[in-house]
Amino acid sequence: MRVQTANPMSLHLKINGEDRVSISDPLTPLVDVLRDEFFLTGAKVVCREGFCGACIVLLDGRPVVSCLMPAGMAADCDVRTVESLASGDGLSPLQRALEQHDVVQCGMCFPGILMSLTSYFEHAHSPNREDMKAALVGNICRCTGYERILDAALSLVQSFEAP
Amino acid sequence: MSTTAEGRLYVARTVHDAVAALSDRGPEGAPLAGATWIMRTPLRQEQHKPFYVAISKIEALRQLTVHDREISIGACVTHAELASQLSSVPDCRALALAASNAANPAIRQVATIGGNLCAANFAAADLVPALLCLDAEIELEASGGTERIAVSRFLDIRASLKPGHFVRRVIVARAPRHSVHVRLPLRKAGDYPVAILSLAVTLDASGIVNSAKVAVGSVELTARRWQELEADLINRPLDPQHAADKAESHCGAFQARDGVEAPGWYRVKVLPSLVRKAVRALREQA
């Protein structure tokens, strides 16, 4: 029987393409391991109930709320955080679109919104405003206004479609 | 570390493995599927179990198979998988709708049908009324073998399951039924519905209702069938206003719960409107 315990060096994770070893109890919320142990502070701890979406990361390409994901359940999975989107000093096209539309304000919700939209663009066959709204219903923003976020994301679609 | 769970976690890879691990731990252990309910245990001022056995990596529990006579849904099939795989199965529409509207997309990626059924204190579980109206059955796994019981029976005993028992799969018998699932949240997502209503009917060739199953969730502590209303829907065509009027006359049947999102009286008050909406949707479907 393979029992994962709270012993140090017991939890192997793959985060943003790198193999990492955590000393946390496997029931520790993944967001705490990311932030407190690996200093990946992009994912935010806000509600801890899975309601706000500020802690969303991608687990095998799908958005999950990392506040309700036991770190031990993320072993053997590919974890991607918002820190993985930019390469070097270059922002991802989605990050650039949001910046160019001056959408980002306080920044608490944005890591989650970026990860939800990143997953959406990776899986959507025909990206459109209504589907984007549905993809973002679990991301709560209290300052920017969702329509501008959608405008920015849609500009990305239009730029791909432009000849 | 701002939050540290004190328990231990064993990730089982086979059903046999999970049964053995749970039997070993007895009352100190519990199965863990999507974890979205159990991870919020401290927020409910409750204690974690000392030991959890993760069952969501067991391939056999992640299978959804549509047969001619029944649909078999492994306990660890997620809401997102249910919504996607049942979208083209007409007789299971209530369950597909419940799965596609519950919570939010990130929760639906991990929350499972087994977890939804086993969260005994979660009154607003969307899948439960849908399964009740579809007359679903539960297959329980234990060291002594498997046992198959109705969902309604499972809801009665789920809080007192013997150690080592867990839900292996959910079975929905195929039938030429029409079904629908409607809910009233206060926002589009991110809160629990005030009330949930699932309705399944079979119709004869002239559109007369032969059988009707109505289930209500989030109003009382546990979802249940609304049999007083079912009787009034049978032997007549689908009529949204008639159904809503009858619902109004049977609202006294509920012992509604108060909650932060709505008082009990309001949960009951909205039921006739949900019934009207559900019957209207069924009529369009039929």
Alpha carbons B225 and B155: distance in angstroms, whole number? 12
pLDDT computed for residue B186 by the predictor? 85
- Domain of B160? 59-173
Helix locations, chain B, DSSP H: 15-25, 79-85, 93-101, 105-108, 113-118, 127-133, 151-157, 227-233, 240-249, 264-269, 271-285
Of B145, B173, B201, which marks where a domain is finished?
B173
B150 and B91 in a single domain? The answer is yes
The percent of chain A in helix, strand and coil, each rounded to the nearest 5, is: 35, 15, 45
Alpha carbons B49 and B161: distance in angstroms, whole number? 15
Residue B6: pLDDT band with limits 50, 70, 90:
very low
B154 and B209 in a single domain? The answer is no
Whole-number percent of chain A with pLDDT over 70: 92
pLDDT at B1 over 50: no
B184 and B169 in a single domain? The answer is no
For A125, residues 6+ apart whose C-beta sits below 8 A from its C-beta are none
Alpha carbons A96 and B152: distance in angstroms, whole number? 52
Q: Does B39 sit within 8 Å of A138, measured CB to CB?
A: no
Of B119, B145, B173, which marks where a domain is finished?
B173
Q: Which residue of A has its CA nearest to B187?
A: A137
Residue A162: pLDDT band with limits 50, 70, 90:
low
pLDDT computed for residue B4 by the predictor? 35
Query: Average pLDDT for residues A32-46, to the nearest whole number?
Result: 97
For A162, residues 6+ apart whose C-beta sits below 8 A from its C-beta are none
Name the residue type at position B204: D
Q: Does B103 sit within 8 Å of A1, measured CB to CB?
A: no
Alpha carbons B177 and B200: distance in angstroms, whole number? 6
pLDDT computed for residue A161 by the predictor? 63
Alpha carbons B123 and B101: distance in angstroms, whole number? 16
- Map out the domains of chain A with their CATH numbers: 11-84 (3.10.20.30), 93-158 (1.10.150.120)
Residues of chain A contacting B50 with CB distance shorter than 8 Å: none
Residue B274: pLDDT band with limits 50, 70, 90:
very high
pTM: 0.94
End-to-end alpha carbon distance in chain A: 58
**Which tops the pLDDT comparison, A76 or B96?**
B96
pLDDT computed for residue B142 by the predictor? 83
Is residue B204 within 8 angstroms of chain A, CB to CB? no
pLDDT computed for residue A4 by the predictor? 46
pLDDT computed for residue B164 by the predictor? 86
Q: How far is CA B4 from CA A25, A31, A60, in A?
A: 7, 11, 24
B14 and B71 in a single domain? The answer is no
pLDDT computed for residue B286 by the predictor? 84
Other Cβ atoms closer than 10 A to A125: 5
Give the DSSP H/E element, type plus range, for residue B181.
Answer: strand B178-184
Distance (Å) from the C-alpha of residue B177 to the closest C-alpha of chain A? 29
> DSSP state, B164?
T
pLDDT computed for residue A75 by the predictor? 92
Q: Identify the CATH number of the domain in which residue B37 sits.
A: 3.30.43
Query: Average pLDDT for residues A125-153, to the nearest whole number?
Result: 92
Residues in A 77-136 with any Cβ partner in B closer than 8 A? 116, 134-135
Q: Identify the CATH number of the domain in which residue B77 sits.
A: 3.30.465.10
B251 and B158 in a single domain? The answer is no
Q: Does A116 sit within 8 Å of B190, measured CB to CB?
A: no
Q: What strands, in cross-sheet order, belong to the sheet with B178-184?
A: B178-184, B195-203, B209-217, B224-225
Residues of chain B contacting A69 with CB distance shorter than 8 Å: 35, 39, 110
Name the residue type at position B217: G
B112 and B196 in a single domain? The answer is no
| Domains held by chain B: number | 3
The count of residues in chain B is: 286
B183 and B280 in a single domain? The answer is yes
Closest partner residue to B109 (CB to CB) among A2, A4, A63 is A63
Alpha carbons A13 and A156: distance in angstroms, whole number? 32
pLDDT computed for residue B3 by the predictor? 34
Of the listed ranges A17-26, B4-13, B103-112, B256-265, the one predicted with least confidence: B4-13
pLDDT per position as a tens digit, B190-242: 678 999 999 999 999 999 999 999 999 999 999 999 999 999 999 999 999 99
Alpha carbons B203 and B207: distance in angstroms, whole number? 5
Q: Indicate the average pLDDT of chain B.
A: 94
pLDDT computed for residue B260 by the predictor? 86
Residues of chain A contacting B191 with CB distance shorter than 8 Å: 51
pLDDT per position as a tens digit, B104-122: 999 999 999 999 999 999 9
Is residue A137 within 8 angstroms of chain B, CB to CB? yes
Residues in B 28-67 with any Cβ partner in A closer than 8 A? 32, 35-36, 39-40, 43, 48, 52, 54, 56-57
B195 and B138 in a single domain? The answer is no
pLDDT computed for residue B47 by the predictor? 92
pLDDT at B2 over 50: no
B116 and B103 in a single domain? The answer is yes
Distance (Å) from the C-alpha of residue B281 to the closest C-alpha of chain A? 21
Q: Does A135 sit within 8 Å of B40, measured CB to CB?
A: no
Q: Identify the CATH number of the domain in which residue B256 sits.
A: 3.30.390.50
B186 and B205 in a single domain? The answer is yes
Residue B188: pLDDT band with limits 50, 70, 90:
low
Residue A159: pLDDT band with limits 50, 70, 90:
confident
pLDDT computed for residue A1 by the predictor? 39
pLDDT at A5 over 70: no
B120 and B190 in a single domain? The answer is no
B77 and B131 in a single domain? The answer is yes
Of B153, B173, B193, which marks where a domain is finished?
B173
Give me the sign of the Cα torsion angle A49, B55, B112, A17.
positive
Of the listed ranges A146-150, B60-64, B116-120, B231-235, the one predicted with least confidence: A146-150
Query: Average pLDDT for residues B247-261, to the nearest whole number?
Result: 95
Whole-number percent of chain B with pLDDT over 70: 97
Query: Average pLDDT for residues B138-157, to the nearest whole number?
Result: 94
Query: Average pLDDT for residues A24-52, to the nearest whole number?
Result: 96
- How many CA atoms are closer than 13 Å to the CA of A140, on its beta-carbon side? 17
